[in-house]
Structure 1
């Protein structure tokens, strides 16, 4: 009787420090991952297209093409998880990385065990939210339509180009438009209740979502800030 063997998870490690690449690769391989590596931006994109990784560990300060540009290009053809690494503690670097589609970040020096733990947590949570238990699959907020099953947001009839995380946040709010969600509740819904890290991650993705919807944070129509709580859906006016 044939037995089915589970395929190893695929990880791509991108950094121009050979010692760090070898260290992270060793930890991931020890945990059962199949690992590819790259040491500059163009090589990372080539490896991602060929290898189709489920998660990418991506350094911000890469030669030839930096991590932000790699992540931006990666999001054009891949829905993999991305953990951004930065050698600088400047908050701007972290927020810029997250705004182009990174899911999480770590500041160097970091513990390889913590990195592997975060990777495993990411891979346990689904990339897509389950279909809503309702016959109304399109939620409307003024000129904004959120197609919950089709996973599409349309503004004035034109489709908005949202990342998976951005759409999942919007869908969470749209399914319960009268509920004010805390950041922790949004993290639990979109990233999973075993996610650990800075809950300001939500603010970064909300800010990027608002920009794509043309929503003014000072007078938002679609995603409202509830002071002292978090966020809720707006009526669209």
Structure 2
């Protein structure tokens, strides 16, 4: 018997959690509920989840803070729910490591489609790893099998999507990849978010590489097109 996929639902509105439970249970998911951020983080420490649905507006600890805390230790896909329609609010969630967002009120079919898409992408990213495949660059190595980036033998903490993006650029070293190509390969054909998600993730990766002690910037901007990996360019 196949193990059911488990989803953590984090929202202070019990009515919405109940609706989410009904929608997801019909799709065969196991569901776990958390009414606020601290409770969610405790459950994440003690259980393994395939997806987290996270509301933004919650008391005491908002969804952005919860997302940021999760990303320090976990790469599980995060779908954020927000009643805020402004793009800047959605961009903030993506900057903190969210994988997708959905504005309330939402259509149940769209919710389920996004849930399946996120889990499918996470599964594909895991299954596409190449065994014992390590990419080596000056002061930098990428263990594709272990999904680990090292700077002078020190591990660099990247989120799942940050690693996927960095890896995709690295294996295509010297080749310019457009934002559309990167979205298609990493987020999938059905991604309906803002194309700036690529820019946000590149910005985060660059900052982490610099803080990690890398003396050059391997991700170069191809203005008006996208990005390319060039380990020979000094910062």
Matched, 1:177 2:173: yes
CA contact (8 A) 2:76 2:160 kept: no
CA contact (8 A) 1:129 1:190 kept: no
Match in the other structure for 1:138: 135
d(CA) in 1 for partners of 2:130, 2:34: 40
**Structure 2 residues without counterparts, runs of 5 or longer:** none
d(CA) in 2 for partners of 1:150, 1:57: 26
Of residues 46, 49, 57, the one that matches 1:50 is 46
Query: Aligned with 1:13: secondary structure?
Result: strand
Match in the other structure for 1:99: 95
Of residues 64, 82, 87, the one that matches 1:86 is 82
TM-score (normalizing by structure 1): 0.85
Of residues 227, 233, 237, the one that matches 2:229 is 233
RMSD: 2.3
Match in the other structure for 2:115: 119
Matched, 1:193 2:189: yes
CA contact (8 A) 1:98 1:204 kept: yes
TM-score (normalizing by structure 2): 0.86
Of residues 58, 67, 70, the one that matches 1:71 is 67
CA contact (8 A) 2:142 2:167 kept: yes
| Displacement of 1:163 | 1.3
Match in the other structure for 1:7: 3
- Structure 1 residue runs of 4+, over 4 Å off? none
Q: Structure 2 vs 1, CA of residues 236 and 145 (structure 1 numbering), >3 Å: closer, same or farther?
A: farther
Query: Aligned with 2:150: secondary structure?
Result: strand
CA contact (8 A) 1:11 1:35 kept: yes
d(CA) in 1 for partners of 2:182, 2:75: 20
**Structure 1 residues without counterparts, runs of 5 or longer:** none
Q: Structure 2 vs 1, CA of residues 138 and 119 (structure 1 numbering), >3 Å: closer, same or farther?
A: same
Q: Structure 2 vs 1, CA of residues 188 and 214 (structure 1 numbering), >3 Å: closer, same or farther?
A: same
d(CA) in 1 for partners of 2:108, 2:16: 9
| Displacement of 1:171 | 0.8
| Displacement of 1:157 | 4.3
Match in the other structure for 2:21: 25
Query: Aligned with 2:142: secondary structure?
Result: strand
d(CA) in 2 for partners of 1:197, 1:137: 31
| Displacement of 1:161 | 1.4
